[in-house]
Amino acid sequence: MKTPLRTLLATALIGAPLLAGAAPATLTPEQTFDLYARALLEDDTAATARLNEALKPAFNGEDALSPPAGALAKALAEPWQVVLAGAGAKADPAAAEAMYAKALQGSQCRATGSQVEDNEYVDDQKIATVQFRCQAVDLSGVRPLFAESLAEGTPATRIRFTQAYTQALQSGPRQPITGSLKLYTAKDGAFWYSANFDDLIGPVVGALAPFDEWMQDAAAADAPKVTGVPGCDLLLQQHRSCVAKIAPDQISGVDAMAEELKAKAQVQSAEAMTQECKALRPVAEMMWTDECA
């Protein structure tokens, strides 16, 4: 899911705003966030048009936002077709895209508040941290079937999982998820904008397609217990295995990393450690080569 999502985010904006000559803002940070969410997640063309109209003075009259219609739903549907094929089900790309589009539209991510502070790196500019809440599909009842399909790998278990997942995505209960997104403004508060939507799109995509996370959790159960936190122990196992292959002389660095995480796990909650190791994972993965696969 990572590559299609990054491609979408890279094409979502025409470019960075031109900070000179912007007109006074007519949208609050919360209103701006809501329009971004409706445009990027719900394919709401009216929201896209309104946001572009508000930002035109900062973009020399051009549209600031140009999300390809249905791109996120398509990015989610493509790997799902692979899962269906593995279960022996007939592929139907159009139906899969429609299923994900409906789920995205139902996410209803909306701002719940914001805090505005000075931008310490740019004089006379502000940063708004907008808190938001979404209504995500609750897939907790599907997870055991996913684990069963991984463990047994039979057509019957795979079909049970794909059917349950499809039903949950289409008509299952929803649960709230929360997050925050930073918006930036030009001098004199001329407008609010964001050029990075990972913090908005990531939680929703993760809730709709949590398969990578579920697979990592399953693999973590067999990782050597170093910190006692599954996500951290799996990261250490994978990182150690990779470094041993590509740079064995640097294995001491892995040992130091393990000791540091082990010490932190003695004083921090499992939830805090899980989040820390999630943040460490992409840093470690940057070092991994094809030999580590």
Mind listing the pLDDT tens digit for each residue in 153-207?
Answer: 888 999 999 999 999 999 989 999 999 999 998 665 668 888 788 899 999 999 9
What is the rounded CA–CA span in Å between residue 205 and residue 99?
Answer: 13
This prediction's pTM: 0.78
Residue 217, burial from CB neighbour count under 10 angstroms (0-12, 13-18, 19+): middle
Structure tokens at 128: 């708004």
Angle of helix 143-152 relative to helix 155-171, nearest 10 degrees, comes to 160
Q: What is the mean pLDDT of residues 23-28?
A: 66
Q: DSSP secondary structure string, 157-208?
A: HHHHHHHHHHHHHHH--EEEEEEEEEEEE-GGG--EE-S--HHHHHHHHHHH
Is 113:30 a contact under the CB 8 Å cutoff?
yes
Is 16:195 a contact under the CB 8 Å cutoff?
yes
Which pLDDT tens digit goes with each residue over 49-90? 998 888 887 777 788 788 888 899 999 999 898 888 888 888
